[in-house]
């Protein structure tokens, strides 16, 4: 019977990449020559006059570092009120060209049905390991307007 040495890293799963930035924006532009990134209209909330509503389409901007080889990225969107998954994107395969490289990933998101005002999470996984999450809000402008009218 062979024993694995404590410092034998060959059997340990590779670490996931680290996320240095995760943002929601209306649009992202990457300059062809310089590689400079322009984020257009970054946000952390959707505003609606009623619910249920459908969000607008948007993009997730990710800046990842410290990757090793190939990963499957998966994005899930959660309703934090009850923990249900509203959506899960198919895996996006990424390949790290070298250990010190930084990866800019832009993920387009189709409109999401949101049934109520509240908090939601976007969670990013690499090979099944969570690497980051971002909370966003859905605001009921009708309820805010009604509350302001009651105060007057």
Query: pLDDT of 107-117, one tens digit each?
Result: 999 999 999 99
Residues of the chain predicted below pLDDT 50: 1-2
Please give the CATH architecture assigned to the domain spanning 16-151.
Sandwich (2.60)
Domain spans in the chain, listed from the N-terminal domain onward: 16-151
pLDDT at 73: 97
Q: How many residues does the chain have?
A: 152
Nearest to residue 42, comparing CAs of 134, 139, 115?
Answer: 134
What is the tens place of the pLDDT at every residue in 124-142? 999 999 999 999 999 999 8
The answer to whether 66 and 15 have CB atoms below 8 angstroms apart is yes
**pTM as predicted:** 0.83
């Amino acid at each position: 019977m062979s024993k694995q040495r404590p410092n034998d890293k060959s059997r340990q799963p590779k670490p996931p990449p680290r996320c240095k930035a995760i943002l929601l924006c209306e649009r992202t532009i990457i300059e062809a020559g310089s590689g400079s990134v322009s984020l257009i209209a970054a946000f952390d909330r959707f505003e609606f006059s009623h619910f249920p509503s459908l969000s607008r389409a948007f993009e997730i901007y990710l800046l990842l570092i410290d990757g090793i080889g190939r990963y499957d990225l998966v994005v899930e969107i959660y309703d934090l009120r009850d923990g249900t998954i509203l959506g899960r994107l198919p895996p996006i395969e990424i390949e790290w060209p070298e250990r010190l490289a930084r990866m800019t990933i832009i993920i387009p998101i189709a409109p999401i049905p949101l049934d109520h005002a509240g908090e939601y999470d976007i969670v990013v996984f690499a090979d099944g390991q969570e690497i980051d999450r971002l909370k966003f809000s859905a605001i009921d402008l009708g309820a805010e307007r009604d509350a302001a009218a009651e105060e007057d």
